[in-house]
Amino acid sequence: MIMADSRKLYFLPGDGIGPEILAEVRRVAEWMNAKRSAGFAITEGLLGGVALDKFGVPLPDETIAEAMRSDAIVFGAAGGPKWANVAPHLVPEGHNGLLRLRREMELYAKICPLSMHDALVDGSSLKRDRVEGLDLVVVREIYSGIYFGEPRMIEDLPDGTRRGTNTEVYTTPEVTRVARVAFELARTRGRRVCSVDKANVLESSRVWREEVQRVHDAEFPDVELSHMYVDNASTQLIRNPKMFDVILTTNMFGDILSDASAGLVGSLGMLPTAELGVPNGRGKPRALYQAVHGSAPDIAGKNLANPIGTILSFALALHYSFGMDEEARMLQQAVTRVLDDGLRTGDIMQPGMRQASTTQMGSAIVAALDGLAGRRT
């Protein structure tokens, strides 16, 4: 049993289904406090449309300040139809919302593990032999690239038409630091990194490829490195996903590939992520954890959302932010046990299984934790 001083855990439920899924993560965190003496001090803040409604901005300064004081942030989702027509600088998930939080915290590496649960193999969009035993990780750069490059603008042209401009920019330090994350991760796995770019037509990708290669040659010669164009990588991810171990890629390409990979395991609601950044002064990286999915406004407030991706994101927080590896494995095992027992939310429902609400899924995972804890005492 772990005895610990207070660990600062900051919840940002956000919009849409965010509050529903964060409520289930809170139940897990409170279970860890009660049964594993985790010592989590949990606070909540506002980010997204809810903050815009209350404060006139999607990311209040007090949210940033609390985020900087925290050991880990667990985030729900941002945005929805209610805020679809706000001014560009007020978009909840945009440059004064979620993207600003990433920049303020200097989060630069998004780790998206993709593993196939045995119980869900037949629910994949691919044949069993393509996904059974699948275990890969996408490492996406999230601090730079086209989402942040300048200039960026929408212009009214003299002929009455408009022009939108976004700029893809990468510098050596921005590439090398996320490359090191991928190579170090690969050393704990299959020792293979595939760097994905578009170096045949993009100068930013040429810099990306050359800098990744330099880091590999100088620091990680024990890891196998390959390079692949993003169009081919997209094809191979569908055709033969088990060929990959660690995929390293840029901000925009990673956004697309990680979401597309959700189809392999059945749902966006199943995929966890960890966003890691510069050291926080307490021996760990600054970090934000969230599932791949968005705010899902069509099912918000209906107790239908799948909380598993966010609960597994919390398992990543246990590992990366708190060094609680035994508890992280226990939580992953609890999710596996519930899925093996045939419980499903609607997005992963299969014939012959039992459909569960958001809260029922959360309750089942907490009950599975009780069973695992009892077995280990």
Active site residues: 147, 198, 231, 255, 259
Distance CA 334, CA 366 (A): 8
Q: What are the Cα distances from residue 115, in Å, to 54, 66, 133, 134, 178?
A: 39, 33, 7, 5, 22
Distance CA 248, CA 212 (A): 9
Ramachandran bin of 293, using left for φ above 0, alpha for ψ from -120 to 50, beta for the remaining angles: beta
Angle at the Cα of 356 from the Cα atoms of 350 and 361, rounded to 5 degrees: 115
The closest of 268, 254, 276 to 73, measured between CA atoms, is 276
Residue 71 tokens read as 């050991």
Q: Are strands 192-197 and 162-165 parallel, antiparallel or unpaired?
A: unpaired
- Residue 360 DSSP symbol: H
The closest of 150, 151, 176, 143 to 252, measured between CA atoms, is 143
Q: What is the dihedral of CA 340, 345, 346, 349, to 10 degrees?
A: 0
3-class DSSP state of 70: coil
- Residue 348 DSSP symbol: G
Distance CA 181, CA 254 (A): 15
Q: What are the Cα distances from residue 162, in Å, to 90, 148, 165, 298?
A: 21, 21, 10, 32
The secondary structure of 173-237, three-state, reads HHHHHHHHHHHHHHHCCCCEEEEEECCCCCHHHHHHHHHHHHHHHHHCCCCEEEEEEHHHHHHHH
- Tokens 């966890």, located at residue: 272
Distance CA 233, CA 227 (A): 9
The closest of 331, 324, 317, 227 to 275, measured between CA atoms, is 317
